[in-house]
Amino acid sequence: MILPVGISFYTFQSLGYIADVYGEKINAERSLSLYGLFILFFPYIASGPIGRAPSLIPQFKAEKKFCYEDVKEGAMIFAWGLFKKIVIADRLAILVNTVFNDVYSFRGIPLLISSIGFLVQLYCDFSAYSDMAVGSAKILGFDLIINFKAPFLSKSIGEFWRRWHISLSSWFRDYLYIPLGGSRKGKLKKYRNQIIVFLVSGLWHGAGLTFVIWGLLNGIYIVLGEILMPVKVALCNVLKIDRDSLGHRLFQIFITFSLATLAFIFFRANSIEDALYVIKYIFYPNLWLITDGTLLNLGLDLAEITILLCSLILLAFVDILSQKTSITKIINRQNPLYRWLLYVLAALFLLVFGIYGDAAKEVNFLYFQF
């Protein structure tokens, strides 16, 4: 069945608009053109972020004038998104697709690397589109919601979902979780509501059982995390572990990332059988494959892997630094000569190291399918 581009995203925007009008958060918009602009605003129409009427419609009504600072900031955000898409996500896609399209030919290290690789690919791919949507809207003078805030630095699954696809997570919170009763009617109903939200989230991504299991797993993670919190606190006290120490925070980040990777295996796998096979053999003892050249047969040669690793280090550095300061503000404080040198080098980097040609044709934005 051929579906309209972005149908799931602007359906959510329309539902959110109706709920906001019904709840008297906003007045019904009398201008069809303004309402149409809100629903079909081109930067976010295909893959979000999901817009909210109370934030965007007043911006559309306000007079707009050319602003060089907005253009400069928007272009930098857009370029960063482009880097994540064509340098990291599309390169990872080659490796991930090679393994997941034929999982029964692999065991151990290739399955582990491709499972981690898919989670990173999805983050870079989807946050790239969000950055490009935010950047292009900023060039025009409009502010969209930031959709990702370094989710791989999360110390719990709950925090992960507060940092990942924020516009969708907050939409489900405001228009499904809270109307179901939220946490107001006791813990059991709160846990039920959390499970329902993630099951619906899974169904939103696709009608297949793999997406349902993915959603259910995340709901179980959230519920168990809350139930076991007193146990974790007591255990830290007994073992005299400083919960604010760097070591403990890194351990929490590692566990959260591992749990997310496990759940997203179902998100990527072509079937439940494929996903269960990956989970069964992901820790198969064949570490020698790291050094015997096997990894060079997964679609990327040594040069491509080197580019990928260097790009991932840069991504991690920027994500960590962005938690404390604004990267665009740091760049704007530099001498114009240095700034323009950075712009030129960044453009050359994208041109030289991006994925183009036949390989690029096979890698559309992942969220275009939802």
Catalytic positions, written as ranges? 205
Q: Determine the Cα–Cα distance for residues 1 and 5; give it in Å rounded to an integer.
A: 12
Asked if residue 308 lies in contact with residue 91, where contact means CB atoms within 8 angstroms, the answer is: yes
Burial of 261 (0-12, 13-18, 19+ CB in 10 A): middle
The answer to whether the bond into 336 is cis (omega within 30° of 0) is no
Burial of 114 (0-12, 13-18, 19+ CB in 10 A): buried
Q: Determine the Cα–Cα distance for residues 18 and 4; give it in Å rounded to an integer.
A: 21
H helix or E strand, kind and range, residue 23: none
**In which residue are the tokens 């712009």 written?**
343
Q: Determine the Cα–Cα distance for residues 294 and 107; give it in Å rounded to an integer.
A: 12
Which of 105, 121, 135, 130 minimizes the C-alpha distance to 44?
130
Half-sphere exposure of 179 (CA within 13 A, CB side): 13
Q: Determine the Cα–Cα distance for residues 39 and 203; give it in Å rounded to an integer.
A: 22
| SS3 assignment, position 97 | helix
